[in-house]
Structure 1
Amino acid sequence: MEKKMITLNTNQLTPFHQKIKHPLNKQRITVLQINLGRRCNLACNHCHVEASPKRTEELSPKICQQLIELINRFPQIETVDLTGGAPEMNYGFKPLVEAARNIKKEVIVRSNLTIFFETGFEDLPEYFAKNQLRVIASLPCYLEDNVDKQRGKGVYDASIRAIQKLNQLGYGNDPNLILDLVYNPPIPSNENFSLTPNQVSLEKDYQTFLKDNFDIKFDQLFTITNLPIGRVKKYLKHKKLYDSYLQFLESHYNPQTLDYVMCRNQISVDYLGNIYDCDFNQMENITATLPDGKPLTVETLLKMGNLDVINDIKTADYCYGCTAGSGSSCGGSLI
C-alpha cells in the first residue's frame, strides 16, 4: 500500500453528496424490501444488521397487516424482498410470503441456509419450493475455512447440505426455482484493501468447485462489498481502519453505477414500520422523508395512497461502498 493511503485522515474524504454533485432522485418504486427483525440463529462477523440468537426485535402483527395491505394495494410492487436477521425466524414471514405469492409477485428470501436444520424450521426447503420463492443465500466463499471464519464453525457444511436439499427439490434446474449465492469478502484486517473480484469470473469458479466437489448447481453469484456499518464498522474502528477504508472506497468511486443503485427503485421497511431508502440506511437509522421533512412509515404510505412520495434519496459516506468499482447492491455488481 502506498504511503499516502496510510497517512490520509477523515478531513480528506469528500462527502458523498458533494461527490455526486446533485441530488440522487427516487424512481418509481417496484421493490419492497422488508427487514422482519434481528432474530437469527447465527452471528456473522460481517452482518450489518448485527443479528444474533440473542436479539429479540421482530415484526409485530399490526405492522405485518399493514405490509400485507401495502402489497395488495399497489400493483407496481413487482418484488417483495424478505430479509433479517434470518427472515424465516421472525414473525410475519409466511403471511407475507403467501400474501405476495397469492397475487403473483416475486418473493425473495435472503436465507442463511443453516436455518433449515434448526428445530421447527425443517419444512422450509419444501415451503420455498411450493411457493416458488427465489432464494438468495449467503455463501461468502466456496472454501470451507473462509466461510467458517466469517460465519461460525460448521456453517459451511450445513450450507452445502442445505443447497443439496434445494437442488433435490429442483432449485438450480427449474426456471421457476431460482437459487442465487452471495459472495462477500473477508473484513480487511490491514490497509491492503481490495474491491470484490469480478462477478462473472468468480461465478465460474464457484460453479466449477461446487459442481466438482458436491454436485451442486445454482443460478447466479452476486458479489457484495462490505459496507462500513454494523459489525464491520465496529471492527474497522477497533482496528483503526475505518477512515482509510472509506477513503479507499472513495478512490474507486464510479459514477456509472449511480443509475443502477438499488435505492433508486426500492423502499426498505423495518420491523417497526419505518421507511428507508435502503437496508443500509435502515441500519444507520436514516429514515426516508417527505419533501417537508416528515419521516415516512407504512401507515403514512397507506393514508396517502401513493408509494412514490420520496423525491431525493438520503445518502451518506458509506454509499461509496455501493458505487466503488463495478458497484454493489443486494443483486450483486451493478455494471
Structure 2
Amino acid sequence: MVSTQSSNLITPFQTKLGSALTKNQISVLQINLGKRCNLACSHCHVEASPKRTEELSPEICEQLIKLIYNFPQIKIVDLTGGAPEMNYGFKPVVEAARNTGKQVIVRSNLTIYFEKGFEDIPEYCAKHQTRIVASLPCYLQDNVDKMRGAGVYDASIRAIQILNQLGYGKSSDLILDLVYNPPLPKSENFSLTPDQGKLEQDYKMFLQEHFDIQFNSLLTITNLPIGRTKLSLQRNQLYAPYLKFLDNNFNPNTIEGLMCRNELSVDYLGNVYDCDFNQMENLPAKLPSGEALTVAKFLEAGSLDLIEQVQTAPFCYGCTAGCGSSCGGALTINN
C-alpha cells in the first residue's frame, strides 16, 4: 500500500490519464515460473533468491500449455522468474510455444549456466531459438557486483561469450538483448534512465573492445518502487519522494506502448495480472464485474480478451516517466 504521505504527494495515476487505461487484444503471455533463483539481487522486484521454493505446479503447467496451443493470437511467450530456467515447467513451456510457432523470450540472469544441472541451458536455448534477454545492469564490473553480488559480472561475461560462440548476437535467429537497470537511489538526487540508444553504443563499444562480445539490443528499464527496490527506498525514507519524482516526469507519449495493454502476466499459481509489476504487488487483473482471473477461467471462456481495463497504481509512473520503461525497454525515443 502507498503511505499516506506519498498519497498526498502524487496524483492518482488514472487521474493523470484522464480516463481508465484500456486493454488491447492480447498477444503476449508472460509467465513467472517461480521465485527460485541462484541470486538475490538488491533491485529484484520479485524478491527471488536461493531460499525461495515457490514454483509452477504440474497442474498449472498443463493449463498454460493448453492456453499456448488453443490461442494462436499469442505471438510471444515471455518466461521470467526468479531464474526461469530453474523452475518447474521451463522446458515443457518452451517446447509448447516453439511447436506452435511463437517467439519465446527467456529472461536470464546468465549466471545460472554455471549452476549444477543447468549447464545445458545455452545449447538448449540455441536449439529452440529462444530470444535471451539477459540482465547486465552496467558494463562496468563494480556496478554489477554491487547490485547483483560478488563475482556476478565475471560469470555474466563468460556466459555471454558462450552464447556468442553458439551464434547468439550474430545469427538473425539467435537474439541476445542485454538489460540495464540504474543503481538504487540513495538520496533525493533522482535521475531518469539514460538515453537507450546512446547507452547501447557505450555498452557495445566497451564489451567488444574488452571481451570481444556482441549482442543485439540494450533495453533500459526503470527501477519501479516495488519489491526490494521499494524496501530499499523505504529504508532510506525515499519512497514518497521517488514516487513524486516519477509523477513529475510523466510522459503521455508512453501510454500507447505500455506492455500491460496487450499482455497477460501469470504467476506460478495460475493467477492472472495485467503485468509482472502488478503481479508482484498482488493487484490481479479483473473482469468488468470485479472478479479476479485465472488461467482456468480463460480456458473455460475460450477467449483471452476478457479484460476491459488495466488495473493501475502509483508505481505505474515508473513505466511512464521520461522515455518510459517496459520489459522491452524504453517506449519513446525522446521525452
Q: How does 1:182-201 map to 2 (within 5 A)?
A: 182-201=179-198
* Residues 59-116 of structure 1: per-residue CA shift (max 9 Å, x gap): 0000000000000000000000000000000000000000000111100000000000
Q: How does 1:309-320 map to 2 (within 5 A)?
A: 309-320=306-317
Paired with 2:187 and 2:284, the residues of 1 have a C-alpha distance of 32
Is 1:106 the counterpart of 2:116? The answer is no
Corresponding position of 1:175: 172
Aligned pair partner of 1:275 in 272, 275, 297:
272
**Structure 1 gap segments, 5+ residues each:** 1-7
Corresponding position of 1:3: none
Corresponding position of 1:325: 322
Corresponding position of 2:140: 143
Is 1:68 the counterpart of 2:65? The answer is yes
Is 1:119 the counterpart of 2:116? The answer is yes
**How far did 1:284 drift?**
0.4
Is 1:265 the counterpart of 2:274? The answer is no
**How far did 1:12 drift?**
2.3
Amino acid at match of 1:78: K
Corresponding position of 2:209: 212
Is 1:17 the counterpart of 2:14? The answer is yes
**How far did 1:10 drift?**
4.2
Q: Tell me the secondary structure at the aligned position of residue 56 of structure 1.
A: coil
Is 1:57 the counterpart of 2:54? The answer is yes
Aligned pair partner of 1:289 in 283, 286, 289:
286
**Structure 2 gap segments, 5+ residues each:** none
Amino acid at match of 1:273: G
Report if aligned partners of 2:9, 2:240 keep a CA contact under 8 Å in 1: no
Structure 1 residues 316 and 9, CA gap change in structure 2 (3 angstroms): closer
Corresponding position of 2:74: 77
Q: Tell me the secondary structure at the aligned position of residue 34 of structure 1.
A: strand
**How far did 1:9 drift?**
5.7
Q: What's the TM-score, normalizing by structure 2?
A: 0.97
Is 1:227 the counterpart of 2:221? The answer is no
Paired with 2:79 and 2:165, the residues of 1 have a C-alpha distance of 23
Aligned pair partner of 1:152 in 149, 152, 158:
149
**How far did 1:182 drift?**
0.1
Q: Tell me the secondary structure at the aligned position of residue 54 of structure 2.
A: coil
Aligned residues: 328
Amino acid at match of 2:97: A
Amino acid at match of 1:108: I
Is 1:307 the counterpart of 2:291? The answer is no
Q: Tell me the secondary structure at the aligned position of residue 203 of structure 2.
A: helix
Is 1:91 the counterpart of 2:88? The answer is yes
Corresponding position of 1:203: 200
Aligned pair partner of 1:27 in 24, 29, 42:
24
Paired with 1:234 and 1:188, the residues of 2 have a C-alpha distance of 12
Paired with 2:101 and 2:198, the residues of 1 have a C-alpha distance of 33
Paired with 1:104 and 1:20, the residues of 2 have a C-alpha distance of 36
Paired with 1:173 and 1:306, the residues of 2 have a C-alpha distance of 38
Give percent identity, aligned residues only: 68
Q: What's the TM-score, normalizing by structure 1?
A: 0.97
RMSD: 0.7
Q: Tell me the secondary structure at the aligned position of residue 180 of structure 1.
A: strand
Paired with 1:141 and 1:294, the residues of 2 have a C-alpha distance of 41
Corresponding position of 1:237: 234
Paired with 2:250 and 2:100, the residues of 1 have a C-alpha distance of 39
Corresponding position of 1:5: none
Q: Tell me the secondary structure at the aligned position of residue 312 of structure 1.
A: coil
